[in-house]
Amino acid sequence: MVVIGSLLPLTGDGAAYGVEIRNGIDLAVDKINTTGGLQGRKLSVSYEDTKGDPTTAVSAIQSLLARQRVPTIIGDSFSGSTLALIPVIERERVVLLSPTASSPKLTGASAFFFRNWPSDSIEATVMAAVATSRLGRKSFGVLYSNSEYGVGLKNAFVKKVRYLGGTVIGEEAFREKDTDFRTQLQNLNAKKPDAIYLTGYYQEFALILKQAKELGVRAQFLSYGTFHEPQVLSLSRGAAEGVVFVQPFYDPDSPEPIVAEFVAAFKKKYQTAPGLYAAHGYDAGLLLGEAMRTAANTPTAERIRDALLAIKDFPGVTGSTTFDSKGDVKKPSRIMTVRDGKFQPL
């Protein structure tokens, strides 16, 4: 038996994301174990709950490593808690592969850190380019979470908009777990932007869009990958219609065999369709499985790191994956919108 670790928010506000990622990882482990395992040995995952909190994440990795000396860990899903883990993986020499942490500060943060979700600097700049060219928007407001990932997205979006000749006429921040965004929305709306760029998570998105509709805000809303969460649609009660967002490429309706097999297996095991986060958890599990097979009978952190760096165009359900020298993933993006109450390609 070969054991790896995983650190995810399995309880708390981020549990919807963490549980979905865990389900994807577990399905990847099933696939690895039913197709020969790691040179005949079964793979197993030891989970710890981070609650999406940096302090809890550090305690979780310490608990995990004290219980089981694993060479590699999948996690965390949030940027703030993932950044808190960097000094620990440096000290303990453990490979950390995050399925969804996106802060630009993570780029090159450690030789042992990788992620198969693009950096905010990629997603935000793609959205800025689409908004200014394809959508023809010229003036922008930004309503962002005052957190590690929120500030990273905001900064990258604003920089790219200005570079492309657009104007950012207002920036408004909110704190995680806020529920009233009316003041920020009114401040932005008074400046009459063509579009408003949002960062946050599904609870915040739903409330922001409902309150914007109540206030009569007519600006085009823009966002990024985290927006692709079914609960945004149900909780916003129609207010999400027309939002445009960029996400890492994943099409659950794709006829490609690798995607169709994943979707069918996920539905069979969990009685629900796999979302973007499940898909990235699944690919993270398969990527580490591939790296550990390459690392042969001695899957040390150094060998796993080198094997991940050597991966080129790995065929996953979220697209072809290659890591650059700083551990960042190189893969295409997809432009999406909400149309007729569903997530659809723009």
- pTM over 0.95, yes/no: no
Residue 323 domain boundaries = 2-120+253-331
Looking at residue 249, its pLDDT comes to 86
User: pLDDT, tens digit, for every residue of 245-261?
Assistant: 998 888 898 999 999 99
> 165 or 226: which carries more pLDDT confidence?
165
> Once rounded to an integer, what is the mean pLDDT over residues 326-339?
93
Beta bridge partners of 195: 140, 220
Listed residue (127, 131, 123) closest to 194, CA to CA: 131
pLDDT of residue 263: 97
Q: What is the pLDDT of residue 39?
A: 85
Q: Looking at the predicted structure, is the pLDDT value of residue 77 above 70? A: yes
* Same structural domain, 15 and 90: yes
Q: Are residues 7 and 115 in the same domain?
A: yes
One domain, residues 340 and 202:
yes
Average pLDDT, the chain: 95
What are the E-state strand segments in 9-146? Answer: 43-49, 72-75, 95-98, 113-115, 139-145
Q: Which amino acid is at 298?
A: T
**Are 243 and 338 found together in one domain?**
yes
Tokens representing 302 are: 């150094």
pLDDT band at 322, cuts 50/70/90? Answer: very high
- One domain, residues 156 and 234: yes
Alpha carbon distance 249, 123 (integer Å): 11
In the chain, the number of structural domains is 2
Three-state secondary structure call for residue 1: coil
- Distance separating alpha carbons of residues 214 and 80, to the nearest angstrom: 32
Q: What percent of the chain has pLDDT over 90?
A: 86
Q: What is the CB neighbour count within 10 angstroms for residue 237?
A: 12
Q: Identify the pLDDT of residue 296.
A: 67
Whichever domain contains 105, its CATH number is 3.40.50.2300
Q: For 181-202, how does the pLDDT look when each residue is reduced to its tens digit (9 = 90+)?
A: 999 999 999 999 999 999 998 8
| Nearest CA-CA partner of 289 in 22, 2, 51 | 2
Q: Is the pLDDT of residue 292 over 70?
A: yes
CB contact set of 124 (below 8 Å; sequence gap of 6+): 152, 153, 154, 155, 156, 157, 160, 224
- In terms of domains, do 92 and 201 share one? no
Cα distance between residue 41 and residue 85, in whole Å: 29
Q: What is the mean pLDDT of residues 271-277?
A: 93
Is residue 130 within 8 Å of residue 112, measured between CB atoms? no
Q: For residue range 207-243, list pLDDT tens digits in order.
A: 999 999 999 999 999 999 889 888 899 999 999 999 9
Are residues 139 and 179 located together in one domain of the fold? yes
Are the CB atoms for 79 and 54 separated by under 8 Å?
Answer: no
pLDDT digits (tens, 9 = 90+) for 39-59: 889 999 999 999 999 999 999
Same domain flag for 18 and 109 = yes
Give yes or no: residues 191 and 270 share one domain: no
Mean pLDDT of 127-142: 97
Give the Cα separation of 235 and 240 in Å (integer): 9
What 3-state DSSP class applies to 267? helix
Q: Bin 169: left if φ > 0, else alpha if -120 < ψ < 50, else beta.
A: alpha
pLDDT at 115 over 70: yes
pLDDT category at 15 given cuts 50, 70, 90 is very high
27 and 150 together in one domain? no
Average pLDDT over residues 313-327: 95
At 171 the three-state DSSP class reads strand
Confidence of residue 162 (pLDDT cuts 50, 70, 90): very high
Are residues 242 and 258 both part of a single domain?
no
Residues 6+ apart with CB under 8 A from 163: none
* Mean pLDDT confidence for 77-87: 96
Within this chain, do residues 231 and 282 fall inside the same structural domain, yes or no?
A: no
Cβ-proximal residues to 327 (8 Å cutoff; 6+ apart), any chain: 107, 108, 110, 111, 113, 114, 115, 308
